[in-house]
Amino acid sequence: MLRQILALTIFAFLFFGCTQKQVVELKLPSKDKVEKKVVQEKKVEEDGVTIIEELVPIDIQESDNIIEEVIPVSENELNQMDSSDLISQEENLQIDGTRAKMQVAFIYPSSLVSKYARSSLNTISGYLSYQKADYNLFVVDSENESEFNINDAFSKVKEKGITKVIALFTPNALNSINKVVTSDMKVYLPLIEKKDFLEDNDSLIFGSISYDEQLKKLSYYSIGNNAMFYQDSYLGLKLRRTYDSLIPDTSVRKEIKKSETNFKNIVNDYRLRNASLYLNTDIVKTSLILSQLRAYDVFPKIIFSTQVAYDPMLMVLTQDKDRERLVIANSIDDVNSKLKDEITTLGGNITFEWVDYSTLVGINYLFYDNNSPLIPTQVVNNEVIYTPRLFKSTEIGFLEIK
């Protein structure tokens, strides 16, 4: 009996020991009951070279009167920039070291040209700022155009050792300027035409626009039956003389007094109908004439005006229909948009103020000691050569007539 029990025990042990193990799936508690164990991340040391952008060092160039700062650019930004952009920027930023340090004087008689002086100065500053030039701008107010004061102003310039000058004088000062200017100087005259000077002086450069050329270009579009209104002012009389030399055959010629505001008796003239009417008047008088011509149903075939009317105030003072027949001559050319923005920011207006544009032509010529592609208007034989273009006015501005 004992032997049978022992044999049964051995058999049971062998049976269960050789049977395959079963896998039992355990039911886990819900996730909100599971305690989450936070694993502490290993701290990684920062790599100063790859995490922090290395900047190109700031380069400050000091001079007697200005500090020029080169804005830092990161290496990452440099790598992302298109190569053509870099070339373009380098071309704009390159400065000729031989011309970087520039000394220029600005002389003006405040009693006569204060209206233009500040804007001309802003134009000079804007141009030199665009060029990133290191410069000294020496300003002298001669107060008037007397020979004594002009001589005194130029003496102060010579004491400073300055040989490049922009002088905002009228033709009345030419003889006095001619006496005091030395052969080592270059004096640019924005308000004077070369034809106003009967002598030879290679030190003088004449920069005024040519109203003769503007009237000549306008006359090409005349249909005959010419009429002309002019104002009793310096410019009005000058334009009348130029007009008379170009267009002797005139059916109507009328003078507009400075105090004139009612133009009924002037515009209500049957001879003006289908005429080629030239308005040699200022912007206010021109605007009043245009509006009253339409008010009295007097319609010239075409109306001409010079640089004087190339002014955005024309759109403010008149209605669109008043200007339908108006053609305007303008001698201001287009320039680099970045240069224009720089000058505008500093208070110059080379888009509509021809004196500012003439000043720009002058400072560019003095800066390079010659013409440059930056300014399309060129100096030839000590005289600025302007090319008049014709414009009509629209609701939003002036449109060139091609």
Do 216 and 325 lie in one domain? The reply is yes
Is residue 90 domain-resident?
no
330, 354, 371: which is the final residue of a domain?
A: 330
Q: Provide the residue range defining the domain that includes 241.
A: 212-330
Q: Are 213 and 179 in contact (CB under 8 A)?
A: no
Q: Which residues pair with 165 in a beta bridge?
A: 105, 187
List b or e across 15-37, with b for residues whose CB sees 16 or more CB atoms inside 10 angstroms: eeeeeeeeeeeeeeeeeeeeeee
How confident is the model over 104-122, as a mean pLDDT? 96
Separation between Cα atoms, residue 252 and residue 141, nearest integer Å: 43
Tens of pLDDT, residues 336-388 = 999 999 999 999 999 999 999 999 999 999 999 999 999 999 999 999 999 99
How confident is the model over 81-99, as a mean pLDDT? 38
Tens of pLDDT, residues 199-254 = 999 999 999 999 999 999 999 999 999 999 999 888 899 999 999 999 989 999 99
Do 257 and 172 lie in one domain? The reply is no
pLDDT category of residue 32 using cuts at 50, 70 and 90:
very low
Q: Which residues pair with 398 in a beta bridge?
A: 393
Separation between Cα atoms, residue 180 and residue 24, nearest integer Å: 115
**CATH number of residue 239's parent domain:** 3.40.50.2300
Separation between Cα atoms, residue 384 and residue 14, nearest integer Å: 121
Q: How deeply is 173 buried, as exposed, middle or buried, from its count of CB atoms within 10 A (0-12, 13-18, 19+)?
A: buried
Start-to-end CA distance of the chain, whole Å, equals 133
Do 140 and 169 lie in one domain? The reply is yes
Q: Which residues pair with 101 in a beta bridge?
A: 134
Is residue 223 domain-resident?
yes
How confident is the model over 386-395, as a mean pLDDT? 96
Separation between Cα atoms, residue 340 and residue 401, nearest integer Å: 23
pLDDT category of residue 30 using cuts at 50, 70 and 90:
very low
| pLDDT attached to residue 125 | 97
Do 220 and 306 lie in one domain? The reply is yes
Q: Calculate ∠ Cα 281-283-284, nearest 5°.
A: 95
Residue ranges with strand state E in 75-192: 101-108, 134-141, 164-167, 186-189
Number of domains forming the structure of the chain: 2
Do 228 and 203 lie in one domain? The reply is no
Is residue 61 domain-resident?
no
